[in-house]
Structure 1
Amino acid sequence: MTEQTTFPKDFLWGGAIAANQVEGAWNIDGKGLSVADVATYKPHVDQKDYSVHLKVTSEAVEKAAADATDTFYPKRRGIDFYHHFKEDLALFAEMGFKTLRLSIAWTRLFPTGEEEVPNQAGVNFYKEVFKEMKRLNIEPIVTLSHYEMPLALSMKYNGWVNRSVIDHFVRFANVCYDSFGEYVRYWLTFNEIDSIHRHPFTTAGIIPDRSGDTIEKDIYQALHHQFVASALVTKMAHEKIPNSQVGCMLTKLITYPLTCEPIDVELTLKKNLENNFYADVQVKGAYPKMILKDLKNRDIQIEMAKEDKKILKENTVDFVTFSYYMSMAESGNPEAERTPGNTVLGVKNPYLPSTEWGWQIDPKGLKISLIELYDRYNLPLMIVENGMGAVDIVEEDGAIHDPYRIEYFKAHFKQMKEAIDEGVDLIGYTSWGPIDLVSAGTSQMSKRYGFIHVDADDEGNGTYNRSKKDSFYWYKKVIETNGALLND
């Protein structure tokens, strides 16, 4: 059998962004505050101390909500996509994007989350974005919830811990489907839904000091409410939008045993099973039995309405998407060296290089993840986040030479191709992020991901002009040849 030299004919090449990291315009045209709008700039946080996400306090949130400036809150600025979207979409089209994953800021449509009628200025903005994407033949993949829930719902209800938030989210999704359904076929419900354990405030609006000793129970309760909401809006999309496809999205955190010592293997197995749990519920329509047993052993009781199991079972997703940045190792040795990753901490793998932020670079892990997920779920897959943060140097003539970025993507694309050749149904890939944006965890601009440079620094200084890096032209060629360039 002759191996394909290119990717599948209709493969969706593109990039991914999130409203809270690019739009800016945080107090324009009726937008309300989201949880992202109170995220502070944290460049000097110990990357190995992820407990910082459990230290969000009511006092800090209230202080941030009262601050009418963007001085300490970079996500209020973003990269001003709100006013640059036509320019940015034109650049994506120049690269040949078949698709763009983006999110809809809940608080642009419902400033507090509890309004009965949406903010028309917000609806109009997204309609203009989608119209422009249609003109440029860029297929939208829309995430309904990407770390940007209304701050008002967080402060009033402790976020998704309260079941009433389901109804508010369903109302929001209903408006999205009615307003943008003619433009959008692919929808994702919750971004990295598993991340609720790592940063409960960002993911679900949970303010840890309001939960106190019940924080673990509250996290699982909020997660359950998100599972139910995901199923309900999946059902709604299928009913309202002909030929719509709804996917789940998880952080793929593949873990290897550091050694073949059985304890390392056991701990690794349990980590990987835990990572799969979140997609299991949305694909298979039920909680895994071992997860339920684990919750019982820890005396965590999830309150479920009598119809919840039926809702989950009858409204499963059509495809599976995930982010993949790095892999980890695991060991029973408490002295094993640990290194940071995508909001996680894992044992350092001695066989892998690392980025400047300590994230280990593992292209082969992407292939392994693709094979594992396709074998487990037998549904089409999309990689909707993958990339590396790096410090870029702008030369005197304005050029940005980023061979490290090109090498990163080239190595990962080759592994994607191998997985496809071995039978994985991979239908799309969106890099994170195709344009420099505000980092999710530390709110930095200096941690750059893009093929497109944005002239803005960590404090928001700069012209915000866009310019092309070397990787821009390389990715353009990859898309133009549908991956054949990788054979060179």
Structure 2
Amino acid sequence: MKFPDGFVWGAASSGPQSEGNFKKQHQNIFDYWYATSPEDFYEDVGPDLASNFYNDYPEDLVLMRRAGIKALRLSIQWTRLIDDLETGSLNADGVEFYTKLFKKMHEVGVEPYVNLFHFDMPVELQHKYGGWQSKHVTDLFELYASQAFKLFGDLVDNWFTFNEPKVIIDGQYLYQFHYPNLVDGPASVQVAYNVNLASAKAIRQFRKIVTNKNATIGSILNLTPAYPASDSSADQKAAEIAELWCNEMFLQPAIHGTYPEKLVKLLDEAGVLWQSTDEEIQLLKDNTIDQLGVNYYHPFRVQAPDVSPKSLQDWMPDIYFKEYLMPGRVDNVDKGWEIYPKALYDIAINVRDHYDNIPWFVSENGMGVSREERFLDDKGVVHDDYRIDFMRDHLSELYRGIEAGSNCNGYFSWTAIDNWSWKNAFRNRYGLIRNEIHTQTKTIKKSGQWYNKLSSTNTLTEK
């Protein structure tokens, strides 16, 4: 399977998961959570060191290039770049670090794909304003974004505003896996709106500031296609609402500048619709993305809920649908996620048919496995054939989508080097490159050797 000329083979990471906390000006919500409740994290491991990318990036980038990684999707940390969060003044060390990093990437031959927000809300803004519940915070984000564009507009061609906005609302406001671990359905609706608004505000600044004619700006969405458990009308309706909430609530504003009418009607009738202004709605319309990043790991199978959403209960999005676990499914048991590569083809066709066939790329796809030392050989190489099979199967479906006319131009594995993974710390490993965290010794896995061949030939071969 020969991929199109110019197809980009990359990997993805994030600042909070790789850099470590060296010389950071502010704590983000995970820094604070770990400092106050380290027992909530797997084996009490926090983000202080992560994979030491802050110090090791010159050597790490060379190692990535040897693993076939020609582009790296990473993030600037708001908490590192900005000194005063209210005025947007700059932190000198943060400016120096990212400037040197992006220059080194170009020198080594690893193209930077730069994301502005990867879950690292400054905890001061969370405590003072409620984080993304506040529209004032969207203004502060716009200020931060404008500083990044001014500083690095000539060093970066591929910009992105947010990574996985749905995870922000799921983790912080619904299902308690990101600080402050709230359960507040109505607040989650406003947060979803405010994050879309913040993205549009950042795009507005990009259009004003960045004169680099090669530069584009996008957003990175985790898409989990909703599949009904059966052909029954009740299951079909549940899947329709799940699709609206999980995917279209972010896809449609990003690409079309509008919200799905059915979703707006549903939320309005439930009395939980976000607060908006005509000016904001116009801002969303006028500031849509140039390209889309798609993070895909697993499908979302749903069935009708056991209890009618008309029942007297606190509003939550999942009063309309219930997760369904497919009997006999192939599962990544370490993560509890179904492995279903065909969904990547379905995403490709959906983008082609309903989203203007916008240029897009797979910005994350990968398999996290625990206890990978089980697969170490006597030379220190992890034989992770399961990861190779996972990528090959997903790339086969992606290739089918491209052959069918979907405008996909890249594939980025999650992740380059084993990194710190939020509350789960280093429980599951995702890297093409192993990180022995006690010594920070990094070695290319079998999957990294395979990926290098894939990247160099632009051709996927059958097993």
Q: When the two structures are superposed, what TM-score results if normalisation uses the length of structure 1?
A: 0.84
Q: Supply the distance in 2 between the matched residues of 1:32 and 1:126 (Cα, whole angstroms).
A: 16
Looking at structure 2, the residues matched to 106 and 172 of structure 1 have their Cα atoms a distance apart, in angstroms, of 7
1:486 and 2:457 equivalent?
no
In the alignment, structure 1 residue 181 sits paired with structure 2 residue 153? yes
SS in 2 for 1:304: coil
Alignment correspondent of 2:384:
402
Write the deviation string for residues 443-462 of structure 1: whole angstroms up to 9, x where unpaired: 32130001100002xxxxx1
Alignment of 1:76 onto 2:48: yes
1:57-456 matched pairs, under 5 angstroms: 63=36, 72=44, 74-111=46-83, 113-200=85-172, 207=180, 215-241=184-210, 242-243=212-213, 244-274=215-245, 275-332=247-304, 334=306, 346-355=323-332, 356-378=334-356, 379-391=358-370, 392-393=372-373, 394-440=376-422, 442-456=423-437
Is the alpha carbon distance of 1:301 and 1:419 closer, same or farther for their aligned partners in structure 2, counting shifts above 3 Å? closer
Write the letter of the residue equivalent to 2:9.
W
Q: What SS class does the counterpart of residue 38 from structure 1 fall into?
A: helix
Work out the percentage of aligned pairs sharing the same amino acid: 30
The reply to whether residue 474 of structure 1 matches residue 434 of structure 2 is no
The answer as to whether partners of 1:158 and 1:207 remain within 8 angstroms in 2 is: no
Q: Secondary structure at the match of 2:427?
A: coil
Once residues 133 and 345 of structure 1 are traced to their aligned partners in structure 2, the CA distance between those partners, rounded to angstroms, is: 44
After superposition, the Cα gap between the structure-2 partners of 1:314 and 1:239, relative to the gap in structure 1 and judged at 3 Å, is same
* Alignment: residue pair count: 439
After the TM superposition, which parts of structure 1 deviate over 4 Å for at least 4 consecutive aligned residues? 201-206
Q: Aligned partners of 1:224 and 1:155: how far apart in 2?
A: 20
Shift, 1:262, TM fit? 2.4
- Secondary structure of 1:246's partner? strand
Q: 1:226 to 1:90 in 2, by over 3 A?
A: same
CA distance in 2, matches of 1:428, 1:115: 37
Pair 1:22-2:18 in alignment: yes
Paired residues of 1:235 and 1:315 also in contact (CA < 8 A) = yes
For residues 452 and 349 of structure 2, what CA distance do their matches in structure 1 show?
Answer: 27
Cα shift readout 1:221-247 (whole Å, capped 9, x = no counterpart): 232222222112112212222232111
The answer as to whether partners of 1:363 and 1:411 remain within 8 angstroms in 2 is yes
Residues 156-183 of structure 1: CA deviation (Å, up to 9, x unaligned): 1111212211221111111111111111
Partner Cα distance (2:88, 2:453) in 1: 47
Q: Distance in 2 between matches of 1:181 and 1:277?
A: 29
Counting only pairs closer than 5 Å after superposition, residues 28-47 of structure 1 correspond to structure 2 as: 28-40=22-34
RMSD, matched Cα: 2.5
> 1:224 and 1:255, CA in 2 relative to 1: closer, same or farther beyond 3 A?
closer
Q: CA deviation at 1:111?
A: 4.9
Question: How many angstroms does 1:487 deviate by?
Answer: 4.6
Q: What is the match of residue 315 of structure 2?
A: none
Query: Quick one: distance in 1 between partners of 2:386 and 2:115?
Result: 29
Deviation at 1:200, TM superposition (A): 2.2
